[in-house]
Structure 1
Amino acid sequence: MVRVQKWKVWGSVVEVDVTEAAALPEAAALIADVIDEAESVCDIHRGDAEIHAVNLSQGAPVKVSRRMSALLRSALWVARMTDGAVNPLISEPSDDSVPTVHPEPSFLDVQIDDDVVFAPWGASFDITDTAKADTVGRAAELVAGELECGAAVRIDDVIATAGHCPAGGWQIPVPGDDEIELANGTAMATAFALSDEPSAATDADAVPEWEAVTVIADDALWAYGAAATALMRGGGAIRWIEQHELRARLVDRSGRVYTTGNW
């Protein structure tokens, strides 16, 4: 029987499901440690977070911890995979009346050599969302490996599974729909549009605009990145998802549901 524990941390709802009841307390403790490690280095709302040193470096190389380096690499990987749709850099409002001295910073200009980060002048990172997705996958694999049980770990709307699955498989609720069986070792993420957030699509024919996009992928980081990207791609989202051979369910602003053929 699957045992479940939920709590809230890092502004998110965290849930762990394990296939061995006796493993639940230790699983929750392992996950809490993984989350605390990630939050302590990249939560921009914490004054002692390591990411502030990166944001203040302004073109100078800065040495970071191994975990900070890994989370930055994950964020940059998602940015490349999504052609910048999921961007780790914060866009600052600009005053067109003032001539710029430095070019607009790009994630493509960021380099990481071992644990030394080289970011262009003006670059400011916020990698919270990709860090949470990365942490989900890392936590699930850690619990499954350390405790030799099946594990499903969720932070908000990103879920990853690892280890052996329970009898009947992992039955995971899809937001706004019934449960779906999530294959062991895969992940699912749902991205929601903000009520005042328009689609990024500019083409007049790029409809419908999406209310929610759920994507199933091989890992939590890619599931999150793909869902967040599809949400912004308007009518081209389904083709983009199918080009990447992902499983997805999309809901438009009128409540109509679209699914990929492999859903």
Structure 2
Amino acid sequence: MNRAATRTATATASWTVWGCAAELTVTDPGSIERAEQIVRAELAKVDAACSRFRPDSELTMLAHSGGRPTPISATLHTFVDAALSAARLTDGAVDPTVGSTLVNLGYDRDFDALALSPSQRTAAAVGTATFLTRADWTMVRLDDDHITVPERLVLDLGATAKALAADRCARAVHDELGTGVLVSLGGDIATRGEYPDSGWRIRVCDGDSEPATVVEIGSDTGVATSSTLRRRWLHEGQLLHHILDPELSRPAEPYWRTVTVIAASCLTANTVGTASIVRGSQATAWLAHLGLPVRAVSADGTVTRCGGWPEDEEDRS
């Protein structure tokens, strides 16, 4: 790695957002308070535009737009554009029109609320209408400041929004404060600017009994892990996970337990990881073509590395 001037001192802030852990680390400890303000403000803006679980969000209201062109904010435009680009890159394996299917499978409220009692769940759910389920990303039209979606279609930006938010937060902190920064949103990681002498050391693991390792990354890098082990819930007696196969309208077969990708952005890393889960055994050739560093754990626990994944370091945690 080419190193700019580095600092060993860092400061970290952490809190909970969107049902997951948010962590912010900066290489200039004196900037941590302002950096946290910047990140929190950006996440609040993203939530107001993109949340599928807020009845007052722009995204929620689109499902009731009657299929008409609807004006949207610059924030929602950016996040929908990213989701459509991800669909294009993956030939539809990552598709934002799976929201209706997720609703029908019971994922119709913030994930923490899925553990509520049945009576509480009804109150927590966003909307009760029958939604369109047979759709794909090509049916969404995005213009300069308007979007058109089929009537009763629910969009879900979960496969891209958190990762893009991490990228935007890291960039916003670095642009305003000049400090090196790492932002992690539920394990979706983005870095900008200078980094500590030892690099940003990332522990890659998705559970206490899962294979774990530590990798070192530098600046302007994204790391994301897609998993069939997280965000699971019971629906009509079946245990489901949140990564759907758009063609089958059901959770992807768990050929891979986890797929971790390193890329130039967290958005790209998460898009590739999610698409790999959906593609299953067919992902291997696609990943080789992309050439990105990838570490995948199969259903039987076998670890596969490709694309120049950094040599694993011993995980001493």
- TM above 0.5: yes
| CA distance in structure 2 between the partners assigned to 1:91 and 1:121 by the alignment | 11
Residues 139-150 of structure 1 aligned to structure 2 (within 5 Å): 139-150=169-180
Distance 1:91 1:53 in 2: 14
What is aligned with 1:97?
none
1:159-170, aligned counterparts within 5 Å? 159-170=189-200
Whether the 8 Å CA contact 1:58–1:123 is kept in 2: the answer is: no
Residue 285 of structure 2: which of 220, 224, 239 is its match? 239
Aligned residue number for residue 108 of structure 1: 138
What are the residue-to-residue correspondences of 1:174-193 with 2, within 5 Å? 174-175=204-205, 176-193=211-228
Q: Distance in 2 between matches of 1:241 and 1:87?
A: 19
Unaligned runs of 5+ in 2: 1-8, 105-131, 206-210, 233-238, 310-317
The answer (yes or no) to whether the contact 1:249–1:259 under 8 Å persists in 2 is: yes
Partner residue, 1:3: 11
Q: Is the 8 A contact 1:42 1:128 kept in 2?
A: no
TM-superposed CA distance for 1:40, in Å, is: 1.1
Distance 2:273 2:197 in 1: 28
SS in 2 for 1:126: coil
CA distance in 1, matches of 2:10, 2:204: 18
Whichever residue aligns with residue 257 of structure 1, its letter is: V
Deviations 1:133-187 (A, max 9, x none): 1110000011111111100101002101001122121111111422211131010
Per mean C-alpha deviation after superposition, the further-off stretch among 121-130 and 218-227 is 121-130
1:177-236 Cα offsets, whole Å, 9 max, x none, are 22211131010000111474599699xxxx981111100111111111111111122222
**1:122 positional shift:** 3.9
Aligned residues: 251
SS at the partner of 1:33? helix
Evaluate the alpha carbon distance shift between residue 9 and residue 180 of structure 1 in structure 2; reply closer, same or farther with a 3 A threshold.
same
- The 5 A counterparts of 1:37-116 are 37-89=45-97, 90-92=99-101, 104-116=134-146
**Which residue in the other structure is 1:258 paired with?**
304
Q: 1:147 to 1:103 in 2, by over 3 A?
A: closer
For residues 121 and 28 of structure 1, the distance between their equivalents in structure 2, rounded to whole angstroms, comes to 39
Q: Secondary structure at the match of 2:86?
A: helix
For residue 16 of structure 1, report the CA deviation from its aligned partner. 0.6
Aligned-residue Cα RMSD (Å) equals 2.3
Structure 1 SS opposite 2:142: strand
Alignment match of 1:157 (pick from 187, 194, 200): 187
Equivalent residue letter for 1:154: S
Distance 1:47 1:197 in 2: 24
Identity %: 31
Task: Give the TM-score taking structure 1 as reference length.
Answer: 0.88
Mark the CA change 1:126 to 1:103 in structure 2 (over 3 Å): closer, same or farther. closer
**Could you say what secondary structure the match of 1:32 adopts?**
helix
Is the Cα–Cα contact under 8 Å of residues 2 and 17 in structure 1 kept in the other structure? yes
Matches within 5 A, 1:212-227: 212-227=258-273
